[in-house]
Structures are given as C-alpha cells and as structure tokens.
A and B are shown apart, each in its own frame.
Chain A
C-alpha cells in the first residue's frame, strides 16, 4: 500500500482474536486525510476493536496499521505517545475522569503535553467548552452531567489538543435524536474547520449518513463492503445493503 501524506489511517490485513474468538479477520481499508469514514455493522462485529487498534489500545495479532507515515504495531511507548497525539478519541460512555471537574478533565492533557501557560490553558479550555455548549458547567463533576452533556464533555476533551484524526465510538448511543444530531454537527464542524479526519463507529444509520463520506461495513469480523452510500446500496452483499438501507 502507498502511505503518502494523503492517507491518514491504513489497515493492512489486520486480524485480532481474543482467546479462541476471532473478532477481526484480514481487514484492510484506508482513510484519506480530511475524510469522514463510518464503520457500520451489527453488535459484536469488531467495530470498537477496530477503533482501539487504530489508537493502539490493542495490538493486532497479524497485519499492519499505519497512522499517516507511522506503522504503529511495533512502536516504542515514546513513539506511540507521539502518534497518539495526532488523534482524539470519543469513548462510548465519554470515559471522563470522575475525580476531576469538566474543566480539569480538559486542562489535564494541555498541562501534561504542552508548554502552555495557565492562562493559555484556561483560554483554550473555555473556547472548546463554549464550542460544545458546556461553558457554564466547567466546575461540574462528570457524575452530575446528563448523558448528552457527558458525551459533549468527552468530545471537548478529545478536541482540546486539536487532533488531526478524530475517532468516535458510538457518538449517538443512548442519546435522543436531537442531541445525537448536535454531536454529529460538532464532529462535522471540526472536520470543516480543521480538515480533521473522522472515523466514526456507529449503529445509527441516520447519523452515519449525515457524517460519513465513505463507509465500511463489518460482519463477523470481516469487511463485507466499503464505499460511498450509493456503492453500498448497490453492493452484492445483502447484509451490507440492509444495514445501510435501514434509514431509508
């Protein structure tokens, strides 16, 4: 595969098993820089595992994963840290640190990973919190936030380091349609303003159609279809057609 500057993420024949259970088998795909890719599939088909492999929370058993020019499967922890700084990760349940306030959750990576002064950190955190509509709640503990607010706070934390690649695991799960649409809108806004590459794992076909430029459909750990909406709608694979047409 060609890993030029236009490719943000590339999977080459990646397989991953947990014990005897194979969750991904020989999966290959590419995501171009600035593109929004949605990974669709039924529950337990390896979608979240794919995201965790991209950010190296998991290692593949076989295959290679490229983040821009870096092949990440055998990187040292120092190099991995450098590569991870290019990415932001929105977890399904936001994964906010429950002992820190919303403000502290966002300030932590800035204080740890940048040389910004306290004033600069405060300015940046305020700015991102305003973008996601959480400025008045900066002193709130995560346990006091609603599901939608937690998700927005999680997104704000993922965005605060201005990542080039934004990963989102089920950004709309557990949210009503209006709040889910707001989260999608925030992701699209980031993509438009900073040319961020988006990789979104979702069950929500409405949201996927709103956000995605291209789609990858997984089933039982195998990539069964990929392409634009039109290409998947005309795919030979019945499961892929059914998954994408649920919104129609």
Chain B
C-alpha cells in the first residue's frame, strides 16, 4: 500500500512539474511541433480507420434494435450522441494510449538507457523541459483534435451504413444527427479528452524518463505506459462524466 501511494505521489509530482515548467522559458516550440506531428498527425490514419469501422458496426447493431421499436428515424441521433458523448472521446483516448503511450515510454526509456538524457544534461539543457514537457503538451493538444476526427469518421460511416440500408439522404441524416445535439453534449466531452491527453503524456513520460533497468526497462516502460494510462483514462472518464453531468444537469443523458 505504501508503495502504491509513493508511486501515485511520484507520478503526480512529475505531472505538476510538467505543468509548472510549461510556463517558464525557454519554450520548446520546435520540439512541440515535432511531437505534434508524431503524436497528432501520425495518429490520424489509425483514428480515422477505427472511427469509420466503429461507426459502421454501431449503426448495424443499433439499426436492428431500433427497427423493432419502429424508431429507425432515431438512428442518426443515437449515432451522433453516442459518438460525441462517449465513444469518440474514450476510444480515441484508448487508441492514443496504445499508439503514443508505448512510443513515449519506449523512446524516453531508450534515451535513458543509452545515456542520451545524461548527454542532454551535460550540455546544460534541462532534459525534462526538452523531452517531457513538449510530449505532455502535444498529447493535451492532440487529444481533442483526434477526438473530432474520430467523431467525424464515426458519423460518416454511420451515414454510409444507413444509406446502404435505407437510402437516406446525406442532408436528412445530418439534420437528424444534430437535431438533439446540444453544445453541452459536444464541447465538454471533447474537451475532457485534454485530461486524457495529460494522463497519457504524463504516465508514459514518467515510466520512460525514470527507468533504470537497462534494456529490459525499455520494454517494461512501454508496457506499463499503455496499461496504466489506459486504466487511469477509464477511471478518470467516470469522474469527468460525473463532473460534466453536474455542471450541465439538463443535458445529462
């Protein structure tokens, strides 16, 4: 128990340091740009493909159920609300934890093992600011944007699947999809993914940056980054959903 509390304390301090260092110069704009490309742009194909597949499958499933109740007209609404409120943010978060979390953990651990981090320190460059802060910030910025991509492709796949089954027009599908969507169903769930991004960036960077177990530590850092950031992401989702429902009671589903 003491070890778990000690670990939570260390990761929390690591996260707080990342936030504090974010506001002190030098600002690592070039590094941030590089990380946004690695974490954001290069994750788009995965997010798009997953969103599309998930959107199509979801429409196929909900369609058969809603038809039973004569509510097939609600299919676009169910699709949009499900994606905007929960599926988009959570699945995008879990996908990013897998792709980026393991990458950050492995890269930083490898840099630690091969003394590259020590090399940065000997050059009078703050390795934490240079390596950790841009990665955490890139995750925070990229996560809501990737969620938008996930929502978009999920909705497009829903339209394709529904059009194939009922020949619904694009205009009607979109009108129905957004008829019951309020800003409160869209903005807070999308922005909550910034917290997911912070968790993924902080946890993965912590495991990579603090490893001291040689080559074995690289694999361990990658594995622990994915497992713990995914777990924390789901736990934090429960808390954030409750907070959003508390802040916007009229729109709680």
Evaluate contact between B124 and A95: CB separation under 8 angstroms.
no
**Interface membership of B114, Cβ < 8 A:** yes
Cβ–Cβ < 8 Å partners of B114 in chain A: 93, 95, 98
**Interface membership of B4, Cβ < 8 A:** no
What is the bound-complex CA distance between A98 and B125, given in angstroms?
A: 17
Considering the complex, which residues of chain B in the window 189-243 have a beta carbon less than 8 Å from any beta carbon of chain A? none
Taken residue by residue from 80 to 122, chain A's Cβ proximity to chain B (1 for < 8 Å, 0 otherwise) reads as 0110110111011101111000000000110011000000000
What is the bound-complex CA distance between A11 and B179, given in angstroms?
A: 75
**Interface membership of A77, Cβ < 8 A:** yes
Taken residue by residue from 83 to 124, chain B's Cβ proximity to chain A (1 for < 8 Å, 0 otherwise) reads as 000000000000000000000000000010011101111111
Evaluate contact between A89 and B26: CB separation under 8 angstroms.
no
**Interface membership of B126, Cβ < 8 A:** yes
What residue in chain A is nearest B28 (Cβ atoms)? A112
Complex partner residue of A112 from B26, B115, B118, B122, CB under 8 angstroms: B26
**Interface membership of A39, Cβ < 8 A:** no
Evaluate contact between B116 and A98: CB separation under 8 angstroms.
yes
Q: How large is the interface on B (under 10, 10 to 19, 20 to 34, 35 or more residues)?
A: 10 to 19
What is the bound-complex CA distance between A216 and B152, given in angstroms?
A: 67
Cβ–Cβ < 8 Å partners of B125 in chain A: 108-109, 112-113
Evaluate contact between A91 and B119: CB separation under 8 angstroms.
yes
Cβ–Cβ < 8 Å partners of A84 in chain B: 121-124
Evaluate contact between B118 and A57: CB separation under 8 angstroms.
yes
What residue in chain A is nearest B117 (Cβ atoms)? A95
**Interface membership of A161, Cβ < 8 A:** yes
What residue in chain A is nearest B128 (Cβ atoms)? A77
Nearest-Cβ distance from residue A229 to partner chain B, whole angstroms:
29
Cβ–Cβ < 8 Å partners of B115 in chain A: 91-93, 95
What is the bound-complex CA distance between A95 and B122, given in angstroms?
A: 11
Evaluate contact between B126 and A113: CB separation under 8 angstroms.
no
What is the bound-complex CA distance between A157 and B115, given in angstroms?
A: 14
Cβ–Cβ < 8 Å partners of B121 in chain A: 57, 84
Evaluate contact between A91 and B118: CB separation under 8 angstroms.
yes
- Of the A-B pairs whose beta carbons lie under 8 Å apart in the complex, a sample of 11, sorted by A's number, is A55-B122, A84-B122, A84-B124, A87-B122, A88-B122, A89-B122, A95-B118, A96-B119, A97-B119, A97-B120, A98-B116
What is the bound-complex CA distance between A48 and B121, given in angstroms?
A: 16
Complex partner residue of B116 from A55, A82, A97, CB under 8 angstroms: A97
What is the bound-complex CA distance between A85 and B122, given in angstroms?
A: 8
What is the bound-complex CA distance between A109 and B122, given in angstroms?
A: 10
Cβ–Cβ < 8 Å partners of A113 in chain B: 123-125
In addition to A82-B124, A89-B119, A108-B123, 12 A-B residue pairs with Cβ atoms within 8 Å of each other are: A52-B118, A57-B121, A81-B124, A92-B115, A93-B114, A93-B115, A95-B115, A95-B116, A97-B111, A97-B119, A98-B116, A161-B123
